[in-house]
C-alpha cells in the first residue's frame, strides 16, 4: 500500500478495467416526495419533513442504468457504527418490495408516491430511536431478505462475526444521514477521458469531468455506500456525511461505449501510481472532504 496524505492506493497492473459488477441500483434517503435533501441533512426524523427510504438508479444515472434487483428486502436504522440498533419494530415489519427496480410496497411502513425522484414510492423510516452519535448521524441499511441472518419476527438479531443485527455488510447497501446541526465530510468521485494516455488530467485539452460513469464505494466493514452511483461533471460531492474510516472506491469497467484502460488516479490533486480501477481513501476525524479522479483511455470501441 502507498500512503499519501492519509490517502492509500492499492497496487494494480495497468490493464483494462475488469471490475466485477456489484449489485445494481442504489438506495438513498430523500424527503417524502423522493427529492434528495442537500447533503443528507434533515430537520426531523419523522413526519412530512422526516427521512424516507428511496431507491432505483442512482442520481446522475444514464437512461440505460438499472435499478435495484426485483425482490424483497429488509431495512434497519442504526448508529453510524452499526453497533446500536435504532429501529424499534420487528424486522418483518421493515420489509419492502422492489419491482421494476423501484420500491413499490412496504409491509408495515407508510409509503408515498415518488414524484421528485425516479418513480415508485418512498418508505418512511420511522419509528427509530435517537442516535447516540454526538454528531446526530444515522445509518440506514437495506439487504435482500434471502441474505438476512436471524428471525424476522424479532426486533434485534445479534449475529456476530461482522454481522450487524442480522445484516451482513457485504450483502447490504447503506446510506448515512444526519438530523439537525451541520453536514460533515463528503466524498467527490470524478471521471475524465485521458485522451493522450499520459496519465495526467489536462482540462485545457478537453480532459474534463464527465458525468454518468458508474462507481461504487465500500466502507471498512464491506458495506456498499448507496450502491451503484454515478460521477458528476460539476464539483459537487456524490457521497455525504462520510464518517472517519477507510473507503474502497471502484470505478465501473465501462459506461457501455467501449473498452478502457486505467491510466490515472488522482486524490486531492496528488497523482497516485500505479493506476488502478480501485482507490482506497482514509477519512481522518478532522477531514471534511476528499476528491478522487479516475482517468481512462479508450483502447477499443
CB within 8 Å of 160: residues ≥ 6 apart: none
User: With a cut of 50, which residues of the chain have pLDDT below it?
Assistant: 1-16, 18-21
CA–CA distance, 279 with 190 (Å, rounded to integer): 12
> What are the boundaries of each domain within the chain?
2-19+185-300, 26-179
The predicted structure's pLDDT at residue 248 = 98
The owner of cell 488516479 is: 265
* Residue 94 per-residue DSSP state: G
The predicted structure's pLDDT at residue 194 = 96
The predicted structure's pLDDT at residue 255 = 84
The CA-to-CA distance between both ends of the chain, in Å, stands at 33
CA 253 from chain centre, in angstroms, equals 18
The predicted structure's pLDDT at residue 94 = 98
Q: Residue 137 pairs with which residues in a beta bridge?
A: 178
**Helix, strand and coil in the chain, % to nearest 5:** 5, 40, 55
Q: Residue 102 pairs with which residues in a beta bridge?
A: 99
**Inter-CA distances, 55 with 27, 43, 58, Å:** 4, 21, 8
- Say what the pTM is: 0.91
The predicted structure's pLDDT at residue 64 = 87
The predicted structure's pLDDT at residue 22 = 58
Task: Tell the CATH topology of 2-19+185-300.
Answer: Immunoglobulin-like (2.60.40)
Amino acid at each position: 500500500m502507498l500512503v499519501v496524505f492519509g490517502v492509500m492506493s492499492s497496487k494494480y497492473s495497468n490493464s483494462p478495467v475488469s471490475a466485477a459488477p456489484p449489485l445494481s441500483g442504489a438506495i438513498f434517503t430523500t424527503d417524502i416526495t423522493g427529492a434528495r435533501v442537500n447533503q443528507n441533512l434533515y430537520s426531523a426524523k419523522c413526519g412530512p419533513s422526516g427521512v424516507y427510504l428511496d431507491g432505483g438508479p442512482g442520481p446522475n444515472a444514464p437512461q440505460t442504468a438499472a435499478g435495484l434487483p426485483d425482490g424483497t428486502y429488509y431495512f434497519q436504522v442504526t448508529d453510524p457504527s452499526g453497533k446500536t440498533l435504532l429501529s424499534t419494530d420487528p424486522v418483518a415489519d421493515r420489509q419492502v418490495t422492489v419491482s421494476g427496480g423501484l420500491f413499490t410496497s412496504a409491509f408495515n411502513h407508510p409509503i408515498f408516491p415518488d414524484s421528485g425522484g425516479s418513480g415508485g414510492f418512498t418508505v418512511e423510516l420511522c419509528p427509530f430511536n435517537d442516535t447516540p452519535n454526538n454528531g446526530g448521524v444515522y445509518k440506514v441499511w437495506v439487504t435482500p431478505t434471502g441474505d438476512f441472518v436471524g428471525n424476522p419476527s424479532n426486533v434485534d438479531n445479534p449475529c456476530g462475526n461482522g454481522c450487524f443485527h442480522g445484516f451482513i455488510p457485504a450483502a447490504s447497501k447503506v446510506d448515512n444521514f444526519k438530523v439537525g446541526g451541520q453536514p460533515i465530510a463528503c466524498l467527490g468521485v470524478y471521471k475524465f477521458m485521458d485522451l493522450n494516455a499520459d496519465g495526467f488530467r489536462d482540462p485545457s485539452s478537453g480532459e474534463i469531468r464527465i458525468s454518468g460513469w458508474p462507481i461504487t464505494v465500500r466502507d471498512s466493514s464491506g458495506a456498499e455506500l448507496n450502491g451503484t452511483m454515478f460521477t458528476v461533471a460539476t464539483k459537487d460531492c456524490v457521497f455525504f456525511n462520510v464518517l472517519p474510516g477507510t473507503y474502497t472506491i471502484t470505478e465501473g469497467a465501462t459506461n457501455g461505449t467501449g473498452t478502457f484502460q486505467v491510466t490515472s488516479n488522482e486524490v486531492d490533486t496528488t497523482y497516485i501510481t500505479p493506476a488502478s480501477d480501485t482507490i482506497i481513501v482514509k477519512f481522518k476525524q478532522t477531514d471534511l472532504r476528499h476528491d478522487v479522479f479516475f482517468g481512462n483511455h479508450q483502447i477499443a470501441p
